[in-house]
């Protein structure tokens, strides 16, 4: 039977670079939360963040946004991915010295591409994060609530992820 899970991808800035935060207990494994009947997915993710980060989680200065979903045939899981953008002062002031979280700098990452009918055959963690960051960059273009919360350093960090106008050719 198919089960529903929420994947949490917490990110922040460290010295103007995007870092993904991983729970030390999980290592490189995804941060997954099982669906709770009767609870909206956003509420379940926010509650889980509050439990983990305790009073350090600041909903008014954070972004919690669903960016994608995928089906894992091997585990029969429907996975809803949530990008969680945390203010960098939380990481810098409180969690950098903690042994509960590990920051991993995000280098060059790209989305995996499927075709017009099917998703990519193989999707890796970096592809999921790339899709989530591209989604955040797109939201920043038109979503006033995202613009209001996203720290200034994110504009430069997301510069390569912003949608390009039609006819744009990259010069390498």
Domain ranges of the chain: 3-161
Length of the chain: 172
pLDDT at 95: 63
Look at strands 3-14 and 31-34 and give their pairing.
antiparallel
Torsion of the alpha carbons at 56, 61, 64 and 67, rounded to the nearest 10:
-130
- C-alpha 81, offset from chain centre: 7
pLDDT in tens, 147-167: 999 998 999 999 888 776 555
Tens digits of residue pLDDT in 48-89:
999 988 888 899 999 999 999 999 989 999 999 999 999 987
Q: What is the mean pLDDT of residues 96-106?
A: 78
Q: How far apart are CA 32 and CA 52, in angstroms?
A: 13
What CATH architecture is 3-161? Alpha-Beta Complex (3.90)
**In which element (H, E) is residue 46 found?**
helix 41-53
pLDDT for the residue 56: 82
Average pLDDT over residues 118-136: 93
The reported pLDDT for the residue numbered 117 is: 92
Give the pLDDT band (50/70/90) at residue 127.
Answer: very high
């Amino acid at each position: 039977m198919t089960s529903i899970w929420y994947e949490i991808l917490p990110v922040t800035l460290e010295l103007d670079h995007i870092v993904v935060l991983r729970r030390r207990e999980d290592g490189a494994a995804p941060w997954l939360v099982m669906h709770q009947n009767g609870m909206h997915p956003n509420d379940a993710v926010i509650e889980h963040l509050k439990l983990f980060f305790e009073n350090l989680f600041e909903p008014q200065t954070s972004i919690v946004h669903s960016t994608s979903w995928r089906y894992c045939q091997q585990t029969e899981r429907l996975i809803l991915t949530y990008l969680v953008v945390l203010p960098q002062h939380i990481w810098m002031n409180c969690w950098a010295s903690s042994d509960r979280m590990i920051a991993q700098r995000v280098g060059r990452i790209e989305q995996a591409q499927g075709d017009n009918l099917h998703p990519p055959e193989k999707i890796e963690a970096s592809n999921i994060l790339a899709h989530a960051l591209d989604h955040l960059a797109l939201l920043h273009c038109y979503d006033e609530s995202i613009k209001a919360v996203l720290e200034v350093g994110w504009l430069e960090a997301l510069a390569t992820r912003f949608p390009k106008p039609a006819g744009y050719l990259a010069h390498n």
